Amino acid sequence: MKVLYFAWIRERIGKPEEDVELPASIVTVGDLMDWLKKRGEEYAYAFDNPKAVRAAIDKVHVQPAAKIAHAREIAFFPPMTGG
Amino acid sequence: MSVRITEAPIDVAAETAALSRGCSDAGALVTFTGICRGEEEGAPIAALVLEHYPEMAEDEIKRHVEEAKKRWPLSSVRIAHRVGRIAPGETIVFVAAASAHRQAAFAAAEFLMDYLKTRAPFWKKVERADGTHWVAARKTDDAAAARWKKPGREAAE
């Protein structure tokens, strides 16, 4: 599955996207954030404050409780500041 | 309807003309132009750098245009959003709504801007002489978008 990062989350992790093999125990977007956090200091820093992180599954906004199921791509980003 | 994300400067007059050409039934055309300010929090800035999530940004804007068309009788909608490095004075976003009468055009333009600010995946970074920082989301923008929520349902979720 593809995971994408934007804005300061991308900068903290040091890459815009990556392919990951998820363990079967990961069911929700929140589970995925907890799992990513344990991958290294840069991830722990990026997901330091989970409340400041927004997520999208296949380009649609979702809450942390959303099930990943058969998602093709999951994106993490800060609250939006466009317009 | 036209939704466009572009790295090139936005020509407001050309955008407005393009919209009015396509809708002879419109009696009202409301346009909003968002411009890069020359200062943020009282200090001058060199530029804004706009990052976005390409396919999602376009999809998300189109979803909100569809929602606007359900709520108001619109003849046409045109949105252009700039990404990349934007200098002070340049246009960041252009939103235009055309309708038979002004109320729908005003309301739809405001609705689209409020949602664009809080739901479309764009992020602003400020460039100054002494460094860069990401712009923080504003609570007032969330409050502005929340006004449009219909009772008993999550808007545009």
In-domain check, residue B152: no
| Distance, CA of B122 to chain centre | 10
Question: Is A75 in contact with B93 (Cβ distance < 8 A)?
Answer: no
Tokens of A8: 């300061």
Interface size A-B, in CB pairs within 8 Å, comes to: 73
pLDDT at A56 over 50: yes
Q: What does the longest C-alpha to C-alpha distance in chain A come to?
A: 39
CATH number at residue B43: 3.90.1170.40
Domains of chain A, by residue range, sit at 14-77
B50 at A interface, C-beta within 8 A: yes
**Chain B, window 58-97: residues with a beta carbon less than 8 angstroms from a chain A beta carbon:** 59-60, 81, 92-93
CB proximity list for A83: less than 8 A, separation 6 or greater: B34, B81, B92, B93, B113, B116, B117, B120, B122
In-domain check, residue B46: yes
Give the minimum alpha-carbon distance from B95 to chain A in angstroms, rounded to a whole number.
9
Residue in this structure with the two tokens 């999809």, named with its chain if needed: B59
Mean pLDDT (chain B) is 93
The confidence score (pLDDT) of residue B155 equals: 44
What is the number of structural domains in chain B?
Answer: 1
Question: Is A79 in contact with B116 (Cβ distance < 8 A)?
Answer: no
Q: What does the longest C-alpha to C-alpha distance in chain B come to?
A: 52
The confidence score (pLDDT) of residue B157 equals: 42
The confidence score (pLDDT) of residue B156 equals: 43
Residue among A4, A75, A78 minimizing CB distance to B134 = A78
Least confident of A46-55, B18-27, B46-55: B18-27
Q: What residues of chain B lie within 8 A of the CB of A81, using their CB?
A: 117, 122-124, 134-137
Contact B95, B113 (CB under 8 A): yes
Q: What residues of chain A lie within 8 A of the CB of B59, using their CB?
A: 59-60
- Mean pLDDT (whole number) for B51-75: 96
The confidence score (pLDDT) of residue B143 equals: 87
Residue among A6, A79, A81 minimizing CB distance to B53 = A6
pLDDT at B59 over 90: yes
Residue in this structure with the two tokens 């712009």, named with its chain if needed: B135
pLDDT per position as a tens digit, B93-102: 999 999 999 9
A70 to each of A23, A63, A77, B126, how far by Cα in Å? Answer: 13, 16, 20, 37
Domain membership of residue B112 as a residue range = 2-146
pLDDT at A70 over 70: yes
Give the minimum alpha-carbon distance from B136 to chain A in angstroms, rounded to a whole number.
7
**Cα radius of gyration (chain B):** 16
Question: Is A81 in contact with B59 (Cβ distance < 8 A)?
Answer: no
DSSP state of B45: -
Confidence (pTM): 0.93
Closest of A19, A11, A33 to residue A73, by C-alpha = A19
Report ipTM for this prediction: 0.95
Tokens of B39: 């200062």
Question: Is B93 in contact with A83 (Cβ distance < 8 A)?
Answer: yes
Residue among B55, B59, B120 minimizing CB distance to A82 = B120
pLDDT per position as a tens digit, B99-131: 999 999 999 999 999 999 999 999 999 999 999
pLDDT at B153 over 70: no
Q: First CA to last CA across chain A, in angstroms?
A: 30
In-domain check, residue B73: yes
Residue among A59, A75, A80 minimizing CB distance to B59 = A59
B42 to each of A82, B36, B45, B91, how far by Cα in Å? Answer: 20, 14, 9, 20
pLDDT per position as a tens digit, B26-51: 999 999 999 999 998 889 999 999 99
Backbone angles phi, psi at B132, to 5 degrees: -130, 155
